[in-house]
Chains A and B, each alone.
Chain A
Amino acid sequence: MRSLSLVALAACSIDMSQAQPWVPIEAVGAPLVPELAADPPSPPGSRGTRPAVTTTPLRVVTYNVEYGPDIPGAIGALTSDPELAKAGLVLVQEIEAYPGEGASRTAQLAAGLGFGYVYVPARVRGDGTHGLAILSAFPITNVEKMDLPDSAKPTQHRIAISADIDVDGHLLHIINVHLDTKLDARERIAQLSPSVVDAPPATLVAGDFNTSWIAWVHGIPVLDTTGASDQAPVVDSYMTHLGFDAPTRDSGVTEHMYGIEQRLDSIYTRDLDATFGGVVRVGPSDHWPMWLDVRLP
């Protein structure tokens, strides 16, 4: 299937770079070396330092932290809201690390939650890096990174990361993605496809898909308020065509900026019993954290 996708991408008129394969993070070198603390701190009698975390169901949160400059604010958002505080797995997008800050922002956030973590940089930014993270109350294994196809437009390099979360002996396969902002729907599917098309049957995919309702034409934003240009239903359609459920389809908006609100973030599940929870309007980011519950077999 993957090779078919590559052939189709090459044949179509979209001007995008070639998709890359999944790579174990141990094979990723400087300057984008990932940071892994796979096991959460484990005081006796609790999961990490978060006794509220349960596995029946497992609560999953996706959260774009907008570079993460206010880690105490993000920790406060994830721990003060009673629904978010029950999360055992947090998929984070748009988080950064700078050498002058001591620990990476992911490490700081994980410490505040009492979770283990993996941080995978996508690109260099200033004297630091910018990337994705997984924070978990359960051991994180088999972490891989995929460099997603880049558009020929002036966009930023994007990645996806995958991992297996060992939840009391049940492996939950997850994929965390952050797609580019200035893509139109067809380019967005082309960028997303390589990371999900060959995913195992039971998989949870979450992240910031940047499914804007603004169309970008030669860098000019075209505001189509009818919703016809909304890309969220397009990604929903693509993922459901792959057999995923779209439990966050009716979540409402997840991002707010310049007075415009959009549904940019989603969670998709396949062969999993998932129930959408909500979007909680807290935290310092321009995105709001979204959560759902997954019942593992």
Chain B
Amino acid sequence: MNVVAHARTGLALALVCLLGRAASAEPRHAVYVDMLGKGGLWGLGYEYEATPRLAFGAVGSYYFAGGDHHLSLSPYVAAYPLVRGHHRLFVQLGPQVVRRVTPSPVPEWGGMTTTRVGAELSSGYEYRNHVLVRVYGMASVGEHASPWLGVSLGWMR
């Protein structure tokens, strides 16, 4: 009996180790491009999956419009309340910092730089299997409030 018990224990440990290796082999780092989404127009994002249910990330964005420079950074924490294989439902929450630089087009004025902070709440569908695909809706709230949409495409390592 002892031999059988030891064998079962050994098998269980081997299984745990195997699953652990398999789990550690799961890619935890994601790099992705946001279309619309957290950056407003577009963004480049990175995310680290701390556990299957929790991740941390950030999206940075820069665009140039009519002579104005818009720079934004949107860090966030992500929760996965529903996971089915490669398919997930996610919720992300975090602040957004936006800096707008308006160089002066005229000699009588020196231009203006403005920095403001808001918050963003996103939720949507995610497919995660070495590639990352997200489609989501979000609410952006600061001095104003607005709904918005986003699509993310990325890679995982």
Contact = CB atoms under 8 A, between A and B. Distances in A.
Interface of A: 1, 4-5, 8-9, 12-14, 151, 153, 183-187, 189-190, 193, 197, 213, 215-217, 220, 222-230, 233-234, 237-238, 241-242, 260
Contacts of B99: 228
Contacts of A4: 107-108
B98 to A, nearest CB: 4
A241 B100 CA distance: 19
**Chain A CB within 10 Å, residue with most, of B41, B66, B103, B104:** B66
B95 to A, nearest CB: 9
Main SS class of interface, A? mixed
B63 to A, nearest CB: 6
**Chain A CB within 10 Å, residue with most, of B63, B105, B141:** B105
Main SS class of interface, B? strand
Interface residues of B, number: 37
Interface of B: 40-41, 63, 65-68, 70, 72, 96-100, 102-110, 112, 114-118, 140-146, 148
Contact of A187 (B66, B70, B108): B66
A11 to B, nearest CB: 9
Given A8-B105, A12-B105, 6 more contacts: A186-B104, A223-B140, A223-B146, A224-B72, A228-B115, A241-B109
B110 A217 contact: no
Contact of A226 (B66, B96, B106, B109): B96
A184 B98 contact: no
B66 A184 contact: yes
Contacts of B115: 228
Contacts of B63: 217, 222
A227 B40 contact: no
A217 B61 CA distance: 13
A241 B41 contact: no
Given A217-B41, A225-B142, A227-B116, A184 B106 contact: no
